[in-house]
Amino acid sequence: MRVGVLAAQGAFREHIIALRACGVDASEVRKAEQLDGIDALVLPGGESTAIARLLQDFGMFDKVRALGEAGLPIFGTCAGMVLLAKEIERSGQPRLGLMDITVRRNAFGRQVESFEADLDIPVLGKEPLRGVFIRAPYVTSAGPGVRVLATLDDKIVLVEQGKFLAAAFHPELTDDLRLHQYFLAKI
């Protein structure tokens, strides 16, 4: 299995390490040709406006959207979740719009820019997953085809819709591989 990790900006190296630890062939995607032949794609955290701009500059934006529409499994974390969303509150910034969700950016507020919390994620088993949140978004509404996999204080922080998975937090910053493994099962 070949998994591409968008290496435009942000926390991509940690995703590659996590995916390799899961036993798959993970590599950086920096140009459009590198999207050819991958079985899944990870959109890492970072700055969603910057990542979108780089995707456009490198001629990858429409290609990633088309691959997603054609059924390529895509896992977006943090800024990657923002990119996957159809709606971004109070923002006209470019987005792939592949998931029927509305997100609010930097949604946990200035006081708590970064924090960690144990998340109860029933599809991953009984053991909670440590969520690392960094200027994280959350989902404020989700369409009928979207399955909510985790909430934190009633805020939706993990969703899936078919082959797409989106997390408001950074699973690549802990040693827990369960969410990456869960994503890989979509391939």
Residues 6+ apart with CB under 8 A from 51: 6, 8, 9, 10, 43, 79, 80, 83
- The verdict on 176 binding ligand GLN (CB under 6 A) reads no
Give me the least distance between CB of 62 and ligand GLN, in Å please. Answer: 20
- Asked if 133 contacts 115 with a C-beta cutoff of 8 angstroms, the reply is yes
Q: What's CA 165's distance to the chain center, in Å? A: 6
Of 105, 157, 165, 173, the residue at the interface with ligand GLN (CB under 6 A) is 105
Q: Does 74 bind ligand GLN (CB under 6 A)?
A: no
Closer residue to ligand GLN, CB minimum distance, 45 or 68: 45
Which part of the chain contacts ligand GLN (CB under 6 A), choosing from 22-30, 60-68, 76-84, 122-130?
76-84
Residue 38: CB minimum distance to ligand GLN, A: 22
Beta bridge partners of 87: 102
Structure-token pair, residue 149:
């996999």
Q: Return the bridge partners of 148, or none.
A: 159
Among 134, 142, 146, 184, which residue interacts with ligand GLN (rule: CB under 6 A)? 134
DSSP per-residue codes, 68-83: HHTT--EEEETHHHHH
Determine, following the binding rule CB under 6 A, whether residue 45 of this chain makes contact with ligand GLN: yes
Q: Tokens in use for 150? A: 């985790």
Among 22-30, 43-51, 155-163, 175-183, the segment contacting ligand GLN (CB under 6 A): 43-51
Which residues contact ligand GLN (rule: CB under 6 A)?
45-48, 78-79, 82, 105-106, 134-135, 137
